Structure 1
Amino acid sequence: MCGRFAITLPTDAMAQLFDAAPANALPEVPNYNVCPTTQIHVITGREGERRRLGAMRWGFLPSWYKSPTDGPLLINARAETIAEKPAFRAACRERRCLIPCSGFYEWTKDESGARLPWYIQRADGAPLVFAAIWQDWGQGEDRAPTCAMVTTGANDAMGRIHHRMPVILEEADWGLWLGEEGKGAARLMRAAGEEVLRFHRVDPKVNSNRASGAGLIAPIPA
């Protein structure tokens, strides 16, 4: 799964990378501690000539939720069951999106049970791009988009830290996932190759969702 991540790419660089028109109100960058229920950067399919770079709540809200706390917090959707779950199946068919980030955090535990955070990023230094789905929630002026990342079983390297990982998309697959290139997006919901990612230990201060700053992703001895 993925429960926290960092985004350091400037907004104009994101817009250029995805050939997307940016919305007026977007989350501030850099942010080294992006947490669930906050607004995050999301790319949706082409509207005319360009895709759209907008903001969505990280935490998918099904249409039947009467409030954001009316059920479980749905920040991830499992690739294995996404097409069957009532909360996700329509979005999986009709409302797929991309979530960019610079890296994400996962945790292991030491012998005493203390949580040890790791920072995971692309080995080539490029931004990570996660497969995701979205859903408008609410009524009238209060209607707002919400989203969840798609996850799958971890590859062997990532499995040493966590048994799940986000579905990571290569640039050649962005259009297919967004529905711009017909059907077949289901085949993209698989683990990335072991060579795609690298990871290092970081300071436990990131265990707090109030922590901030570039020091959160700085390596420390494992």
Structure 2
Amino acid sequence: MCGRYTITVTLEELMLRFLLGNAPVVGGYVPRYNVAPGQWIPAILGDTPAAASQQPMPRRLGELRWGLVPSWSQEESSGGKPMNLRLETAQQKPAFRRMLERKRCIVPADGFFEWKTGGKQKQPVRFMLKDRSLFGMAALYDTWGMADGTKLHTCAILTTEPNEVVAKVHTRMPVILRHEDESVWLNRSMTSAEELLPLCKPYAAKEMISYEVDPVVGNVRNDGPECIAPLHALW
């Protein structure tokens, strides 16, 4: 599962890491320390290149609301607006499989939170890459039409089995794409679920770290550096 995450870098760092170049930016961007479901989040989508273009697949940075409202929903609130979608569900259910084949995006992040149980209260834990770098979480998006004709663009982050680091805290983890697989994931001409699924393996545990943070992150109104400050020394 992935119920909260962070993206604390500058816009320039984000654009450089994901090769966005001069891509237009939709919506305002500010660093976030406690991103929660229901909020508008930055997402990277692949654009369709010109027919004869030999250039790499163009990308754009847009905003999607976190919590999927599928296009077939009768109303916005139906279906529970899932923040996460199990990879197995996306593979097995035809409606979500079509989304996997045609409506993929990347949610950029530099950390995500899970809550450890067992004590008197749940203890939030932040997970990151060892080098503290940005990474891309695989996500699916869809567009739902409102009664007034307005289009609502939403997404859900895909989850998979946890690696050894995350398994100490939770039974699921977000699908973190390898850097070299991001272009394939965003390539809109790639419509084979069988070829996409191998990209969604649990991220290598040896490349990740985790540390406990203050429970203030449990309140979505808290969105400052205090949400990621370690409770204990990291080394």
Q: Distance in 2 between matches of 1:63 and 1:69?
A: 12
Deviations 1:40-68 (A, max 9, x none): 01001134352011000111111232333
More strand by share: 1
Note the 1:90-105 alignment, pairs <5 A. 90-105=98-113
Aligned pairs (5 A) from 1:1-222: 1-20=1-20, 21-26=23-28, 28-48=29-49, 50-112=58-120, 114-139=121-146, 141-179=149-187, 182=190, 183=192, 184-221=195-232
Identity %: 35
Deviation at 1:111, TM superposition (A): 2.9
Deviates more, 1:91-100 or 1:72-81: 72-81
Amino acid at match of 2:67: G
Query: In structure 2, the residue corresponding to 1:81 is in which secondary structure?
Result: helix
Distance 1:73 1:31 in 2: 22
- Give the direction of change, closer, same or farther, for the CA distance of 1:62–1:87 in structure 2 (3 Å limit): farther
CA–CA distance in 2 between the matches of 1:180 and 1:221? Answer: 44
Residue 31 of structure 1 deviates from its aligned partner by: 1.1
2: CA distance, partners of 1:57 / 1:165: 20
Structure 2 residue runs of 5 or longer lacking an equivalent are: 50-54
Q: Is the 8 A contact 2:165 2:210 kept in 1?
A: no
Q: Point out where structure 1 has 5 or more consecutive residues left out of the alignment.
A: none
1-structure distance, mates of 2:26, 2:68: 22
In the aligned structure 1, how far is the partner of 2:71 from the partner of 2:13?
33
1:218 partner SS: coil
- What are the superposed Cα offsets for residues 118-162 of structure 1, whole Å, 9 maximum, x if unpaired? 011111111121011110112465102111111101012210011
The residue matched to 1:82 in structure 2 has which SS?
helix
Work out the CA distance in 2 between the residues paired with 1:134 and 1:66: 17
Distance 2:229 2:77 in 1: 34
What TM-score comes out, normalization by structure 1 length?
A: 0.92
Describe the SS at the equivalent of 2:115. Answer: strand
Secondary structure (helix, strand or coil) at the match of 1:9 reads coil
- Report the Cα distance in structure 2 between the residues aligned to 1:106 and 1:142, rounded to whole angstroms: 34
Structure 1 counterpart of 2:151, which letter? R
CA distance in 1, matches of 2:217, 2:173: 19
Aligned length: 220
Could you say what secondary structure the match of 1:120 adopts?
strand
**Contact 1:175/1:181, CA 8 A, preserved across alignment:** no
Q: Distance in 1 between matches of 2:27 and 2:222?
A: 24
The CA RMSD over aligned residues, in Å, is: 1.8
Report the Cα offset of residue 86 of structure 1.
4.7
Deviation for aligned residue 1:18: 1.8
